[in-house]
Amino acid sequence: MHINLLGARVDAVDLAGAVEKVAAFVAAGHPHQVITLNPEILYRAQKEPELLDLINRADLVTADGIGIVWAAKVAGTPVPERVTGIDLMLALVERAAREGWRIFLLGAAPGVAEEAARRLQEKHPGLVVAGTQHGYFRPGAGEAGGEAAFTAPGRAPVASSGDGGRPGEPRVPTEGEVVEQIRRARPDLLFVALGAPKQEQFIDRYKEVLGVPVAMGVGGSFDVIAGRVARAPEWMRRLHLEWLGRLIREPRRWRRMLVLPRFAWLVWRRARPAGR
C-alpha cells in the first residue's frame, strides 16, 4: 500500500515491512532503487519536477523523519512509522549477514566507508563487503559533466599529479571508473552516501548499468557508523527530536531547518480544502 503526499508516492510500511520488500527485490535480481524521503527533499521536489519524477520512479519510498509521518497524518493517509535511512541500512546489513548478501559502501570522505565496513563486519560476522569507495570522484568516462559527486564542507578532493594535484597524493577516480568498480564487485546492496539528492540522482542515472538489485541513499550514515559523528541519544530519537540533536551538533544546519516550517505550512494548506 502507498499514499500520495504532495505529489510523491510514499509506501506505507514499517521498518520490518521495508526490509521484507528489499528482500524481495534482492530475490528478483534486477535493479531497484530505495529512497528514504525527508521533508527537505520533498519540499525541494515541489519546485523541481525532475526530482519529483525521480522519487516516483523509485521502487520503495519510506517516510524518513517525523515530518513526513506528521504530513501523512494531516493529509488523512497515515503511515505506520518513520523508516530512516540509517535504521533501514542497519536492518538490511543485519539481514545481509544472515542471507549472504554482498554489500558495497560508496561515499563520504576518504577512509570513512572503509571504517564503517570494518565496524559492520565486527558486529555482524560473516557479512560480505564486496567493496568500498569514498565519495571524492570527478566527472568523466560516463558522466556528462557538472560537479564532483561529493565534496565535504570546507575540503576539496585530493588528486594525483595527473589530475592536477601534487605528486604522491591519492588519485581521484572518475565517476565512470567508480561505476565500473561497483559493477565488477557485483553487490546485492549498494549504499550511497553522497548527500541528497545527489545520491538519489547517481543511483537513478546508473542503476541499469550497475545492475545492483537494490541501491539506496543513506546520507551521513557512514560517518555515524564509523564513529566520526555521534547520533542523537536514544531518548531524543524516541521523542522524535533527532533533528534537534543534529542542529545542536551542527549549528550551521539552521538555514536548512527553515524548510521545516515552510513544509508544514504547505502540507496544512493543501489539506485544508479537504476540510482538515
Domain segments of the chain as ranges: 8-274
Nearest one of 189, 178, 187, 115 to 148, comparing CA atoms: 178
Return the C-alpha cell found at 185.
564487485
Q: Can you give the pLDDT at residue 273?
A: 55
pLDDT mean values, one per 10 residues, the chain (276 residues): 95 98 98 97 97 98 93 95 96 98 98 98 97 93 43 37 51 94 98 97 98 97 93 60 57 64 90 57
Q: How far apart are CA 185 and CA 198, in angstroms?
A: 22
Q: Can you give the pLDDT at residue 167?
A: 56
Q: Can you give the pLDDT at residue 6?
A: 96
Q: Can you give the pLDDT at residue 211?
A: 98
Q: Can you give the pLDDT at residue 143?
A: 41
DSSP type of residue 273: G
pTM, entire model: 0.84
Q: Can you give the pLDDT at residue 153?
A: 34
Q: Can you give the pLDDT at residue 257?
A: 63
The answer to whether the beta carbons of residues 215 and 32 sit under 8 Å apart is: yes
Q: How far apart are CA 161 and CA 27, in angstroms?
A: 44
Q: Can you give the pLDDT at residue 162?
A: 41
